[in-house]
Chain A
Amino acid sequence: MIGPFCCYAINGQFINILAVGMAAATKNVCCHNWQALAASSRIEVFLTAYCGDLTARHGALQTPRGSGKLAQMNSAHELQEDALVPPGSVRAYWLCQIAGWYGFAAAQIGAVALLKRSDGLRSLIGELDATVADSILDGFRGVSMAQVAFEFLLLHTGALVVTHLLRRHMRQRQWQALSVSALLRHGLVAGVLLSVPFGLAQWVMAVAAIRPPLPGGPPWTQLVLMMLNWSGIFWLWIALYFAVLRARKRRHAELRRSEIRRALQLAELRLLKAQLNPHFLFNSLNSVRALIADDAARAQQAVTQLARMLRYTLGAGQDELVTLEQELEIVSDYLALEALRLDRRLRVERDISAAALRARIPVMLLQTLIENAIKHGIAELPDGGLLRLSARVADGCLQMEIENPRPDPPLPTTQSGVGLRNSVERLRLLFGAEASLEIDLAQPGRALVCVRIPLLAMAA
């Protein structure tokens, strides 16, 4: 019983597998275009959304927040990916559906026509099982090719519609998020359920003859075989659908990763440029050049200070904490170099308690604030002004104040906000709500920045 059944089932499935294979091939070819189209639109969306964001955020003196930022971008992108249906992929989907199902129908119609006409093919099948071939031929006797074609086309149009509805259902229920085992379960059930109406429909049609009942078995075996056959087709369809989806996903993930990497590299480069402060750097070099002739000792000192600053800037890791004392050394070097350029326009007043010197602060934080105070404040004033820096420990916190005069009204070209906003963000990420950075511009012609950092950082 099992022997003939298997032989029979394989025989019946043979044509189907051929047809589905063809459909699959079409699908694979299409899916490359599909992916390429999806990828190109993806890149565009990505570039505009994230590079724009990155360049805006990393424009001035600031720090990238490596992994956090990356995760943020990933999740944001994920959201967008679902909302985004690349126009090309919808077309490719319908192309695959139509070509697959009607190609399948055409193959079956062709197979029946061949069977009816050619004895050679009959003998080929007959070699497997002569009785099966005979019973198939018997079944088709008296059935016109027009009817065969009509019935197959009707069945496959139905299958096309049903699989499309299935796709909609799977998308709504988020099947792509299921685990492999759950997906297998769902897929098996869906295939069997869908095979019932199709098996029944085919059973009452003339084309039921393509799958005769088991030799010597009762007539309902024909229905079971038909349903099995349809289940197989739907399983194949579901498997193909998810294979394509998975391949697309992987491709997208790869693209996304490389794009993010490129955007981050760009951001890092900009950051480095901003930290090096080219305007300051070249002006300082110019000052040194002038000093070499006039005051060689001062020139030597300036070169040393510049070298120390560059080393500190280049070596600074973003999440690194340093003592205020360490940071102040670099700030002093910086101020000495600025004093060369600004001459009498820059006056500095420092009030730093001994306890504050041991407090730990994010590297380059104070330096960034001091640079801002000079760049957007004192250097913009023809008569310069007094930069006041104070630091003390109170309430378990390091409290720093940086006060400087600024042009009033502010110049339209200054964008002092970016570097400061970034410092605020950095503090929040490193210390949470306990740290703060407040900018007080209430008084015209004066800027005051107050920084509060918990001393817990000493232990970190």
Chain B
Amino acid sequence: MKAFIVDDEPLARRELRRLLTEFAWIDVCGEASGIDHAVREIEELAPELLFLDIQMPGGTGFDVLARLEHVPQVIFTTAHDQHAVRAFEVNALDYLLKPIEPERLAAALARARGRNAQPAPATGAPIEQMFVKDGPNCWFVPLAEVSLLTAEGNYVRLLWGQRQPLLGRPLTALEQRLDPKIFFRANRRQIVNLSCIESVEAGIGGRLHVQLRGGGPEVEISRRQARVFREQTSV
């Protein structure tokens, strides 16, 4: 299992590497000390497991996750950070307190191995979940639960149940990585989740009006896209 270490302290990285030598099936493929460096390396090396420090110069480990296309399994490492601990409660991610206890590490790795039994997605395959950091809140958002994506400048506003977190990347970049069987481009600004559509009504000039389940806003499908929509869904 390929693992990557992100920590700004060299001694902390060395200590973790030393602890990981006990686990022969873990292969530490690289390490990084800063956010930018970490994002570049992780995208390139595509590790399956990430050891991530929370407090880092110029930002946090959450910032690293928010910038990743494919988020691997994450084990947070932190010395003392109550805010971080609160974030974990929402996410049910694993975390280790520094100095790291070997027993706790073994347990976290065993869990990671269990989850890793599912085949890893091939590169270029559609994304299934996304890490979203909006203000103090962080979530792993399963994309299947997102009913609508709306462009807001260079950002994307997700409609996820009652929450509407903002994602820090442009809609066009995201579109290429979405599953075309589930997500449909409704108009220039919006992509809609087909499985979340409650009803479709014909509008003026060949447009369609889509009502989402759970009382979301009405989405208009442009004339050009309406034809594609009819073909695809045989409405």
Contact = CB atoms under 8 A, between A and B. Distances in A.
Overall SS of chain A's interface: helix
Interface string A80-121: 000000000000000000000000000000000000000000
Given A290-B11, A290-B14, A341-B9, A285 B58 contact: no
Given A279-B79, A279-B80, A286 B11 contact: yes
Interface in A260-289: 278-279, 281-283, 285-289
A326 to B, nearest CB: 28
A345 B80 CA distance: 21
A141 B81 CA distance: 89
A407 interface: yes
Contacts, number: 67
Given A278-B80, A279-B81, A289-B99, A342 B9 contact: yes
A286 B15 contact: yes
Contacts of A289: 15, 99
B211 interface: no
A176 to B, nearest CB: 47
B206 to A, nearest CB: 47
Given A278-B79, A289-B99, A290-B18, A283 B57 contact: no
A279 B55 contact: yes
A256 to B, nearest CB: 31
A322 interface: no
B34 A283 contact: no
A188 interface: no
Contacts of B81: 279
A411 B100 CA distance: 28
Interface string B45-85: 00000000001011100000000000000000001110000
Interface string B26-41: 0000000111100000
Contacts of A384: 57
Interface string B80-123: 11000000000000000111100000000000000000000000
Q: Output the residue of A282, A283, A291 with the most chain B CB within 10 A.
A: A283
A380 interface: yes
Given A342-B9, A382-B34, 13 more contacts: A279-B80, A281-B80, A282-B79, A282-B80, A286-B11, A287-B9, A289-B99, A341-B12, A343-B11, A379-B57, A382-B33, A382-B35, A411-B58
22 contacts: A278-B80, A279-B55, A279-B81, A282-B79, A282-B80, A282-B98, A283-B79, A286-B9, A286-B12, A286-B98, A286-B99, A287-B12, A290-B14, A290-B18, A291-B11, A341-B9, A341-B12, A343-B11, A379-B57, A381-B57, A381-B58, A382-B33
Interface of A: 278-279, 281-283, 285-291, 293-294, 340-343, 345, 379-382, 384, 407, 411
- Sort A-B residue pairs by CB-CB distance and give the 8 closest, nearest first: A290-B15, A282-B79, A278-B80, A286-B98, A290-B11, A286-B99, A287-B11, A283-B79
